[in-house]
Chains A and B, each alone.
Chain A
Amino acid sequence: MTGSAKRVREPEITIVVARDFSRYPGGRYKADGEFSGEAFREEKLLPALREAEAVDARVVVDIDGAAGYPSSFLEEAFGGLVREGHYTSRELDSLLVIRAGALFDSYRLLAEKYIKEARPLA
Chain B
Amino acid sequence: MDDYLRLLLAALLGAAFAFLLSAMKAARDEQRDLCDRLGEAILETADLAAEYWLADGKSTKIALYEARLMGAQAYLARYRLIAVTWFAPKDRWRVEDGMAEFYDSLTGGQFKVKKRAADPLRAEACQVQAATLAVLVREGNLASLKVGAQIVRGLGWHRMRRWFQRLFQWNEPRH
Contact = CB atoms under 8 A, between A and B. Distances in A.
B53 to A, nearest CB: 12
Nearest to A101: B81
B73 interface: yes
Contacts of B96: 105-106, 109
A32 B73 CA distance: 20
Q: Which of B74, B104, B110 has the most CB of A within 10 A?
A: B104
Nearest to B174: A109
A67 B70 contact: yes
A110 B100 contact: yes
A26 to B, nearest CB: 6
Contact of B78 (A33, A69, A72, A103): A103
Interface in B80-108: 81, 96-97, 99-100, 103-104, 106-108
A120 interface: no
A72 B103 contact: no
B163 interface: no
A67 B78 CA distance: 11
Contacts, number: 63
A88 interface: no
B111 A72 contact: yes
Interface string A8-42: 00000000000000000011110111000000000
A26 B112 CA distance: 8
A109 B102 CA distance: 12
Given A103-B77, A103-B78, A106-B96, A72 B106 contact: no
Contacts of A32: 112-114
Given A68-B73, A70-B70, A28 B78 contact: no
Interface of A: 26-29, 31-33, 67-72, 75, 102-107, 109-110, 113
Query: Which 8 A-B residue pairings sit nearest by Cβ, starting from the closest?
Result: A27-B112, A71-B108, A70-B107, A72-B111, A109-B100, A106-B100, A106-B99, A68-B74
